[in-house]
Structure 1
């Protein structure tokens, strides 16, 4: 059963007890990447394989995301700057030990493509933080795979 998490603001991305930051470059331009992140929420499972389902909620002000393994996030969008930033906090989740979570996607032009930076800012019980630190390389791999998948998908849609 989902439980309520601590509500955090965008500044949590800098002050969170646990911050995992990953970056990669894509050939797709920032406007296409942003649209895939913010406007095509239901399309996330097609490129981010950890996501099994995603849908916008509250007339686009929130999202519900389901991950492999059964984790559910109910989120609120906290920043939506086209071609630059897309961030959301998790308001409710069934993830054990999670107390607060904010994910921040930053997009920067890189030649004709985009540099994508994903910050996973979290707080949780000590075992949760320990497990996330142990899983850092797996999360990094999942991020890099997702970016590569999204880049391929966007290249196919531009053709």
Structure 2
């Protein structure tokens, strides 16, 4: 069965998210910092009158904090009934994959590493990590989350 993903980059890493979870892709907007939140929660932005928490996806995945510039983008995704923004370096493409080609992530050390991944798939000779969005939203440090429109 075919499935569509939006692919994007963080550094040299390629990731993908199910296209049905994407609400919009925005240019980088500086965030308003909040006190006492985890380092991967970079703050909030105003999304047409709604407070949108913004996650530094690189930091959330354990790859270090992003120093956002004008070339970065925020991908707005729906996770459950909530909207979240994810800072990424660049959005690449929409790709169709056969779900049968999606392979489970290998068990390497802690379960946290692979809990953020639904699986891995090869797209045009690149390994793409397909994110398990439900697991990324956990532990936002008490950030109030807006309901998805």
Give me the TM-score of the superposition, normalised by structure 2.
0.29
Instruction: Give the structure with the higher percent strand.
Output: 2
Give me the TM-score of the superposition, normalised by structure 1.
0.28
Instruction: Give the structure with the higher percent helix.
Output: 1
